[in-house]
Amino acid sequence: MSGTSPRANWNYPTAIRFGAGRIAELPEACRAAGITKPLFVTDAGLAKLAITTSAVALLEDAGLNPGFFSDVQPNPVEANLTAGIAAYRAGGHDGVVAFGGGSGLDVAKLIAFMAGQTRPVWDFEDIGDWWTRANADGIAPVVAVPTTAGTGSEVGRAAVLTDTSTHTKKIIFHPKMMPKVVICDPELTVGMPPAITAGTGMDALAHCLEAYCAVGYHPMAEGIAVEGIRLVFTYLPRAVADGTDIEARANMMAAAAMGATAFQKGLGVVHSLSHPVGALYNTHHGMTNGVFMPYVLAFNRPAVEDKIARLAAWLGIDGGFDGFQAALLDLRERCGVPHTLKGLGVDDFLADKIAVMAVDDPSTGGNPVPFKVSSGVGLIRVAFRGDLAAVHNETRS
């Protein structure tokens, strides 16, 4: 025999109930997950909205006697988690309903994970085999209901939490953090305003694009990523322009789940830079990804030019790598994504600090081009100025 046979470990998501109106199945989904007394977890912004009160009423009418917790901020911190764990234990709950965008879903999953642990949450950061430190029997089941179309946290085995002592976002991982059942009902996303629709959509695109470009062998993840990218290019402008376009909303919800499925292959420097910027400046994660995306793509060009040309051909975009880059810039402009960090209210005074934090970020390991502090400083400065043409010169020192 000739050649080398690749070796890899692959995992895929959980049971997903997808379609308009399927929120009505929430009580049955809880029972399927073995939950009889759920803690309903969402973020503060969703707490009093009709979609939330209606979902809670479904559980109450079914006799499931839910508790309710919403002390979750947009970039969650340990204090949010601690309060949620206290609510879970005080209420005698046996599972969690995670309802909301990435922040609410992540905190909900962490509550279910940490309620049965004795070690601090930072002991389970996604480093090596740290997840094996957890008591797997103490992890409660989760039913996840996304209300945005971006993070894909509903099909993920990890969650992001900000460590306020170091101002860093950390990824907490355990295989059993994966929700048992997911309800993807696009009607829940209809009320998202255009800016949030655009930002969450950019997050889904970043997940798909970085997974497609990441190092490693995972053809199934790459195939999912490619279709996810096509869905974003096709449907995100429609969802931004008309929030009631249920076809666009549904396809963006699918793209979000696909991105989180695909990025088990890896992410890259878009996320490595967005994490510290979000922790230091409290920017929207997806919108920050959207700003960095073309600059990082240009930085990675030496390693991914042929792959991006194939992607462009599949999407029906002429011009190979340059054609795809132009289409990406056009998509951002149509969706109202700033071209610069300055447009997000971010300065470049902390470029050195952000670059150091980015090099240490776990997403960096998947980047197809080696990344060092000087590269990060260069990318931050060109992204601040909006000087895409200068990426090569300012990141190769």
pLDDT of residue 156: 93
Set out the domains of the chain in order of their start, with CATH numbers: 15-189 (3.40.50.1970), 194-395 (1.20.1090.10)
What digits encode the pLDDT tens for the residues 94-141?
Answer: 999 999 999 999 999 999 999 999 999 999 999 999 999 999 999 999
The count of C-alpha atoms lying within 13 angstroms of the C-alpha of 347, restricted to the half-sphere facing its C-beta, is 2
What digits encode the pLDDT tens for the residues 305-327?
Answer: 999 999 999 999 999 999 999 99
Q: Of 204, 317, 192, nearest to 256 (Cα)?
A: 204
Residue 89 pLDDT class (50, 70, 90 cuts): very high
pLDDT of residue 5: 72
Rounding to the nearest 10 degrees, give the CA dihedral for residues 269, 270, 271, 275. Answer: 100
